Amino acid sequence: MMTLLISGCSEKILNAKGYPGQSEVTSEVKADTHNKDAKHSNDQMQNNVEQAKQSVANTSDENMKRHTTDKNQDGIQVVFNPESIPVLVNKQNKLPENYKPADLVYTDIPFVSDVTNEKRKMRRVAAAAVNQLFAGAKADGISLLAVSAYRSHETQTTLFNSYVNRDGYEKARTYSALPGTSEHETGLAIDVTSGNGKCAAENCFGGTPEAIWLEQHAAEYGFIIRYPQGKESITGYQYEPWHLRYVGKELALEITSKGITLEEYYNEV
């Protein structure tokens, strides 16, 4: 039996939620790292957002071509701005094949245990923000543990391939993110759980004081609950109260206050 480390927590949840036949997809672990703040000036954030929006807009045309030229599995388009902080990566938009964030650093937060060094990293600005988020939680009496942050393309590929070997491509796709489509590959996403380490990337994390605190405060640190409840048809993922995505404070506050997803944010514009 395999204990597979899924970094795109999402896979696991989908599995748990009823894709009959998919079974044990195990969990993740922890880590920690460190680094210092990185502040985003409003201008820079605005540029990033504009750039990302433009890129999304551009992909429409580009996508038409892709559909006719390299219509590989599922007509997924490649994002043009993988390094943009608000980059949209999902089941329809993937990172370029050779993309690796250039500014990965260790976070300074506690991880669950036995977490590989890779998973303890995030992009510099996100790592600084998550350090602050953990400190803020602690100040409010909320104890958090990190489960998994960055996942390299190689790791995701190995993981996905192991599922394909086990269950076949079509089946694997229903519960595991295709390489390039996991937000964890951006270095901007992190899975967290309660300080007791229970419910790591599990449904039971929902409704805990820690999950509630995150819903109320994550945006103050630039993070959104990326796969909210009730938005499954938009995000393509079941509710994942533990999966945080860094988008920058301004954008996080906007998205959270409107009760929308990153997908809806881009569609709105």
Active-site residue set: 240
**151 binding Zn ion? (CB under 5 A):** no
Q: How far is the CB of 245 from Zn ion (least distance, A)?
A: 8
* Closer residue to Zn ion, CB minimum distance, 59 or 133: 133
* Closer residue to Zn ion, CB minimum distance, 32 or 191: 191
| Secondary structure (3-state) at 129 | helix
* Antiparallel, parallel or unpaired: β 240-246 and 144-148: unpaired
Selected range binding Zn ion among 6-14, 41-49, 85-93, 118-126, rule: CB under 5 A: 6-14
**243 binding Zn ion? (CB under 5 A):** yes
* Closer residue to Zn ion, CB minimum distance, 62 or 215: 215
Q: How far is the CB of 43 from Zn ion (least distance, A)?
A: 30
Compute the distance between CA of residue 49 and CA of residue 55 in angstroms, rounded to an integer.
Answer: 10
Compute the distance between CA of residue 44 and CA of residue 265 in angstroms, rounded to an integer.
Answer: 18
Out of 4, 9, 129, 137, the only residue in the binding site for Zn ion (CB under 5 A) is: 9
**123 binding Zn ion? (CB under 5 A):** no
* Closer residue to Zn ion, CB minimum distance, 59 or 238: 238
Residue 167 class from Cβ within 10 Å (0-12 exposed, 13-18 middle, 19+ buried)? middle
Out of 191, 202, 210, 263, the only residue in the binding site for Zn ion (CB under 5 A) is: 191
Q: What number of other Cβ atoms are within 10 A of residue 86's Cβ?
A: 26
Selected range binding Zn ion among 90-98, 110-118, 128-136, 191-199, rule: CB under 5 A: 191-199
Selected range binding Zn ion among 7-15, 151-159, 165-173, 228-236, rule: CB under 5 A: 7-15
Could you write out the DSSP letters of every residue in 38-95? Answer: ----HHHHHHHHHHHHHHHHHHHHHHHHHHHSS--GGGPEEPS-TTSTT---SSSEE-
CA separation (Å) from 15 to 154, 182, 190?
A: 22, 16, 19
Selected range binding Zn ion among 4-12, 38-46, 173-181, 250-258, rule: CB under 5 A: 4-12
Residues 193-232, one symbol each (x = binds Zn ion by CB under 5 A, - = not), give ----------------------------------------
In the block, residue with structure tokens 């750039």: 51
* Closer residue to Zn ion, CB minimum distance, 108 or 202: 202
Q: What number of other Cβ atoms are within 10 A of residue 129's Cβ?
A: 30
Instruction: Give, as ranges, the residues between 62 and 121 that touch Zn ion (CB under 5 A).
Output: none
Determine the size of the site formed for Zn ion (CB under 5 A): 3
Compute the distance between CA of residue 132 and CA of residue 139 in angstroms, rounded to an integer.
Answer: 10
List contacts with Zn ion (CB under 5 A).
Answer: 9, 191, 243
